[in-house]
Structure 1
Amino acid sequence: MNAAQLSGYEHLLGIAEGAIAPPSIFATMGMLKLELVAGTVKIHCKASDQHCNPMGGVHGGFAATVIDSVTGCAVHSLLEAGVGYGTVDLSVKMMRPVPLGEVLIAEAKVTHLSWAIGIAEATVRRTDGTLLASGSATCYIKRPN
């Protein structure tokens, strides 16, 4: 079935269950597993050597990209078939360095959804709950004419 014929939730559920291939950003960013409930999404991810900065630490763009992805997916999970979205604003705060080679959990929840705007807040944590980064994204809702 064409993804445009699926609601956002159905599309993401297909990815989570393996019936639909994940987007290429999942492989690029070490995103391993997707879990969802409408309006809330978790992505398990792991930074690798390809995500390192010149000093050998994980680049801040790793957490920013993961937060952009998980917040966008949370908004997407509430959209009807044929409706898309795009990030128009992303805010990220880093609390601790992102560890290399460790599975992390990024979780986002939609805090506002209207006809034209979706807002979601996210965290990136170690599996023990230690907060590494948090952020929010505002998404423009692209509805067909």
Structure 2
Amino acid sequence: MTKTVSKPNINQLYANLNGLEQMQMAFQHKGNRPSIGETLDFDLVSVEKGVAVFEGNPSEKHMNPIGSIHGGYAATLLDSALGCSIHTMLEAGESYTTVDLNVKYIRAMKPGMGKVTCRGEVVHKGRKIATAEARLVGEDGKIYAHGNTTCVIL
């Protein structure tokens, strides 16, 4: 009889780790890249307590009908940096979910503009609520969008 070996559930692997340890573990194992990073061509590049930094490469595949990069690209990068920065502040056994995401678009991103960097940083983490803010900056040093989030701690 063949013995079936099941993959451990990610929640079981991370159950005893705090949020920063979970993010560091995910950062070390690039094979754990979430599919949204594949789809939108962005990666987590650094993580520390209260901070998460992503880099992306907006291209033709991310365009809207008017020839600029779709606003959802910026919103997704901001959401990822904001959420992951809060994730780094979680105690073992805590989780979170987004209550709101606010995005302010400053200027249009264009295909071929080069890499963009999004840095999310926690403003406050309490027992029930956490807030964070982030900026999406191009290689030219200009801000293309910024945003903030509120998350509920579960």
Q: TM-score, normalised by structure 2?
A: 0.84
User: Which residue type is aligned with residue 77 of structure 2?
Assistant: V
Task: Check if 1:71 corresponds to 2:99.
Answer: no
- Equivalent of 1:92 in 98, 103, 107: 103
Residues 14-67 of structure 1 show CA distances to partners (whole Å, capped at 9, x for unaligned) of 222226612222212211342012001111111233321112311111111111
Q: Residues of 2 paired with 1:30 and 1:20: CA distance? A: 14
Q: Residues of 1 paired with 2:95 and 2:61: CA distance? A: 30
Q: Residues of 2 paired with 1:74 and 1:107: CA distance? A: 9
Residues 14 and 20 in structure 1, CA contact (< 8 A), matched pair in contact too: no
User: Which residue type is aligned with residue 24 of structure 1?
Assistant: S
Partner of 1:82: 93
User: Which residue type is aligned with residue 100 of structure 2?
Assistant: D
Which aligned runs of 4 or more in structure 1 are off by greater than 4 angstroms?
none
Q: TM-score, normalised by structure 1?
A: 0.89
Gaps in structure 2 of 5+ consecutive residues: 1-11
Partner of 1:107: 119
Secondary structure of the 1:138 match is strand
Secondary structure of the 1:2 match is helix
User: Which residue type is aligned with residue 40 of structure 1?
Assistant: V
Q: Which has the larger radius of gyration?
A: 2
Larger CA deviation: 114-123 vs 48-57: 48-57
Gaps in structure 1 of 5+ consecutive residues: none
Kindly, what percent of the aligned residue pairs are identical? 36
Residues 33 and 45 in structure 1, CA contact (< 8 A), matched pair in contact too: no
Distance 1:20 1:115, change over 3 A: farther
